Amino acid sequence: MPKTQASIHSPTPANLRRLAAALRRGELVAIPTETVYGLAANALDAKACRKIFRAKRRPGSDPLIVHVTGLAQAAGLAHVNPAAIRLARHFWPGPLTLVLPKKPVVPDLVTAGRSSVALRAPAHPLTRRLLRLAGVPLAAPSANPFAYISPTTAEHVRQGLGTRIRHILDGGPCPVGVESTIIDLRNPTRPRMLRPGAVSAAELARVLGCRVPVPRGRRKRPAKAGQIAPGLMKQHYSPKTPLRLIPTLSRAMAAKLPCDAALIYFRRPIARTARVSEYWLSERGALREAARNLYAVLRRADRGGHGCLLVELAPVRAGGLATAINDRLRRAVSRL
């Protein structure tokens, strides 16, 4: 494993060609997507994909998402059913991952021995170009050390994995900011959402013409490795500083806190308190902006030397992104 710091490559045509060649040779490249940065390897090369697990310290029981250019490439890797075709036509390229029965060409290591594979066509133009240049599908989990906060900038990737990988493609900050929605389509008549993201259950139901059950907000017991979506493991996306969730933060609450605590508001507070540090996800309470800022703010607060972080939940009027933000916050709170 490289001891030197990873290089952050600007997206010039020559760099994209070099990085595509590195991927074809079996090397790892961190790539920008519209959701979060991914740590990519040639999905058809088990030896290359093994490096992903090693770099992230990810358990081999947690399967990888495979990134494709679109439906045609997906159909080479999985048994694509009519529901999948419908969703892919509607939402791809974009933040939706489909779990489908896999074809033998996908190495067992990628799917952690499962008979299904998770597929997504990302919308980020640089990664789409890289996928085309590499000419192979790319397995890529989020580019963070296992269970830490996902990266939404190239610098976040370098902070977490800089000494364990060589190449990071800089695509700027990720415009969505939370990981893709995952839908289980192994049985197309009974679709099931496994992870909430920017594509809501209501949107999926509208396109499919049937109900799409959403995962329950809080599990009584943590999911174990080996269950259907280990990304739904109770602890995930966690800062190192202890974190508590508060439905709505108030100034009165701030007055009672120890002064090394920090508050993370959903929306910038009108009246500020000088007693404790304050952060916010959005200036005016906009969900998209809050999702985009979520991980950067959590990272900043985690590096702020605070004794604990109190985070306000997103208001769940609209579902969709608010559900996704709160899902990630709940997992960030849990300790193993």
Give the footprint of Mg ion on this chain (CB under 5 A): 142
DSSP designation for 242: -
Q: Which helix (H) or strand (E) holds 203?
A: helix 201-208
Q: Supply the minimum distance, in Å, between the C-beta of residue 151 and ligand TXA.
A: 9
- Burial of residue 173 (CB within 10 Å: 0-12, 13-18, 19+) is middle
CA distance 16 to 307: 42
Question: Which position's Cβ is nearest ligand TXA?
Answer: 231
Of residues 42, 97, 200, 241, which one binds ligand TXA by CB under 6 A?
97
Site for ligand TXA in 271-310 (CB under 6 A): none
In 274-318, the DSSP E strands lie at 277-282, 308-312
322 binds, options ligand TXA, Mg ion, none, Cβ within 5 to 8 A by partner type: none
By rule CB under 6 A, what string of x and - marks binding of each residue 186-215 to ligand TXA? --------x---------------------
Single residue of 231, 298, 314, 325 touching ligand TXA by CB under 6 A: 231
Nearer to Mg ion, 142 or 152 (CB): 142
- Does the footprint of ligand TXA cover residue 35 (CB under 6 A)? yes
Taking CB under 6 A as the binding criterion, the range among 155-163, 165-173, 227-235, 237-245 that sits at the site for ligand TXA is 227-235
Instruction: Kindly indicate which of the ranges 35-43, 130-138, 158-166, 275-283 contains the residues binding ligand TXA, using the contact rule CB under 6 A.
Output: 35-43
Tokens of 103: 């074809």
Residue 269 interacting entry, from ligand TXA, Mg ion, none, C-beta within 5 to 8 Å by type? none
Residue the block writes with tokens 């974009």: 94
Q: How far apart are CA 23 and CA 26, in angstroms?
A: 5
Which part of the chain contacts ligand TXA (CB under 6 A), choosing from 71-79, 92-100, 267-275, 300-308?
A: 92-100
Task: State the minimum distance, in angstroms, from the CB of residue 37 to ligand TXA.
Answer: 7
Min dist CB 334 to ligand TXA, Å, is 15
Segment 325-329 long-range contacts (CB within 8 Å, at least 24 positions apart): 325/178, 325/281, 325/287, 325/290, 325/291, 325/294, 326/217, 327/195, 327/196, 327/215, 327/217, 328/178, 328/179, 328/236, 328/237, 328/294, 329/243, 329/245
* Phi-psi group of 285: left, alpha or beta (phi > 0 → left; psi -120 to 50 → alpha; rest → beta): left
Task: Please state at what angle helix 201-208 crosses helix 82-91, rounded to 10 degrees.
Answer: 120
Sole binder of ligand TXA in the list 42, 69, 73, 142 (CB under 6 A): 142
Question: Is 111 near ligand TXA (CB under 6 A)?
Answer: yes
Q: Per this entry, what is the length of the chain?
A: 336
Angle at 62 between CA 86 and CA 24, to 5 degrees: 75
Report which of 154, 203, 201 is spatially closest to residue 174, judged by C-alpha positions: 154
Report yes or no: 255 and 273 within 8 Å, Cβ to Cβ.
Answer: yes
Which listed range, 29-37, 200-208, 215-223, 248-256, lies at the site for ligand TXA (CB under 6 A)?
29-37
Nearer to Mg ion, 142 or 200 (CB): 142
By CB under 6 A, name the one of 33, 73, 293, 326 that touches ligand TXA.
33
* Contact set with ligand TXA (CB under 6 A): 33, 35-36, 38, 62-65, 95, 97, 99, 111, 114, 116-118, 120, 122, 140-142, 179-180, 182, 194, 228-231
